[in-house]
Amino acid sequence: MKRFVPILLCAISICACKPDAVNEEKPVNTVVCSCKVNGVSVADGRSIGNVDASSVTITLEFSSPLDLSKLDKNKIFFAGSILRNYTAELQDEYTLSLKVNPKLEHFSSYTLMVDKGDNLGVHLPFAYTYTFITAYDPSPKFPAISDEELMDLVQRRTFSYFWDYAHPVSGLARERLNSDETVTTGGSGFGFMAILAGIERGFISREEGYNHMLKVVNFLSDKAVRHHGAFPHWMNGSTGGTKAFSTYDNGADLVETAFLMEGLIACRQYFSKSSEAELRTKITSLWKDVEWDWFLNGTKQLYWHWSPDYGWHMNMAVKGWNEALMVYLLAASSPTHTISKEVYDKGWASNGGMKNGRKFYGITLPLGPDYGGPLFFTHYSFLGLDPRNLSDSYASYWDQNVAHAKINHAYCVDNPNGYIGYSADCWGLTASDYPGGYIASSPTKDKGTIAPTAAIASMPYTPTESMAAMKYFYYVLGDKLFGEYGFHDSFSLQDRWFAKSYIAIDQGPIVVMIENHRSGIIWDSFMKDPDVRVGLTKLGFTYNKNQ
């Protein structure tokens, strides 16, 4: 019997171990308390941007101690190309550090997946996802050139939108790229002033510019449909027929007409040679035909729209402060259908109601909505109207426009919404395309989209900040942003989106305001017009009478 004792003891020993195996504790439930990508926190299911693509380290803090020897890379992995290509270590017993091994692609999205289940010696009852977007490649995309050469290049490319892409029949500016027969009234007016800049820069000859403008005014005189002398927002570039901008907006648009006339009046003064008299005569006829006073509709304010089908249905008064100062100035300047100063004071200025006077980012804003609104307020009327030394009882318009531009810049530097890309060199909120359609962006209506025209056309007001922006748009983003007709309309680094579009009302201010910054030729041409001077005086403006 003794020889069986060892076997019996062994059996007893084995039986004693089984309960221990059965009662072994399951991994404790734990949660991921935080995730940081290169030190920046990202929430579960959310994303962060502007991550350095050359070096990425992710730290995950758990609520329970971890066992690195039990790491299951099938449950902690990256979606896409990285997958499990990372090095893991513990910073402390609660914190897992993941060093991504491959150098990542610039401007790309990556997602870390932390699956539920047993891992690292703990149990996760929930899954987690963390997404990060790498920064745009900061390296220069084009060889360095001087600031003067860059301005030449940007002006030349943008000018070509109004020259090479002009409608072949009318010579007017198409509304936007691929708009075919649809030409724009206000955008064409901006394009007329761009023609003057093109002549000054030697892109075309004076004779070429003159012949183009003669073709345009012949079309406007002979084919374009007018309503009490005013033009619609859109026209058919071949027939001159009205194209409805919206259901009720299928007739006169007084604001668009004002921008068209702004360009024509600048041309009337620029083409001053005796051999160019035909153009001046035809512009004068178009100018005198606009029945500005009729658009009062029996009131003390001007109205934006009138339709031959719907009359005054839109009922939109032109009131400040916005982009439409030019409407009241030209109405007051008209030698045939003028308005009184009372209309300007009551209708446009609301007897001072358009004043602001509050400070934003330490900058006093004389007029308009808080933070200034979209930057086109500082551009459209001031392509021709020189704001230098221009003031009335309501504001200094130089102070107004400089303040507005600087507030817009300061807002983008502050970047309260945390949008990817906003910086001192990447700024500018105005009306433009954006990933959801079209929007009038401003600090109070910001969807993360920057429009190059906003910063660049502000160059007279913010020369240093605007040049820095133009360099960033060209050198850093230029491989996606700079094309045949200059800078594309807009972009959102937040959404990794670049517009393919060009829009006339955004292209025009780029060419014209760079030229006003460089030579002031468009300002000088418009401001020396005798009718304009009558209007300025009537409305109580002080201005540089030596232009």
Position 406 scores a pLDDT of 98
Could you give the domains of the chain? 32-134 (2.60.40.3710), 147-538 (1.50.10.140)
What average pLDDT is seen over the chain? 95
pLDDT in tens, 379-392: 999 999 999 999 99
pLDDT beyond 80 at 199: yes
- What's the rounded mean pLDDT across residues 44-58? 94
Position 18 scores a pLDDT of 37
Residue 258, CA distances (Å) to 160, 304, 333, 357, 434 in order? 24, 10, 11, 28, 27
Position 546 scores a pLDDT of 86
Whether the CB-CB separation of 224 and 231 falls below 8 Å is answered with yes
Position 102 scores a pLDDT of 87
Whether the CB-CB separation of 59 and 130 falls below 8 Å is answered with no
Q: What single letter denotes the amino acid at residue 382?
A: F
The two tokens of residue 535 are: 């209007």
Read off the pLDDT band of 24 (50, 70, 90).
Answer: low
Which of the given ranges, 10-19, 23-32, 76-85, 444-453, has the highest pLDDT on average?
A: 444-453
Helix (H, G, I), strand (E, B) or coil at 153: helix
Position 20 scores a pLDDT of 43
Read off the pLDDT band of 14 (50, 70, 90).
Answer: very low
**3 state SS for 323-346:** CCHHHHHHHHHCCCCCCCHHHHHH
Residue 146, CA distances (Å) to 231, 384, 520 in order? 42, 28, 21
Question: What is residue 202's DSSP assignment?
Answer: T
Read off the pLDDT band of 378 (50, 70, 90).
Answer: very high
pLDDT beyond 50 at 4: no
- What's the rounded mean pLDDT across residues 330-358? 98
- What's the rounded mean pLDDT across residues 468-479? 98
pLDDT beyond 90 at 69: yes
- What's the rounded mean pLDDT across residues 419-438? 97
- Tally the C-alpha atoms within 13 A of residue 424's C-alpha that lie toward its C-beta: 4
Q: What single letter denotes the amino acid at residue 61?
A: E
CA separation for the pair 282, 219 (Å, rounded): 11
pTM: 0.91
Residue 319, CA distances (Å) to 324, 328, 347, 432, 441 in order? 8, 10, 6, 22, 20
Position 26 scores a pLDDT of 82
Position 188 scores a pLDDT of 98
Strand partners, 94: none
- How many CB atoms neighbour CB 299 within 10 A? 12
pLDDT in tens, 489-527: 999 999 999 999 999 999 999 999 999 999 999 999 999
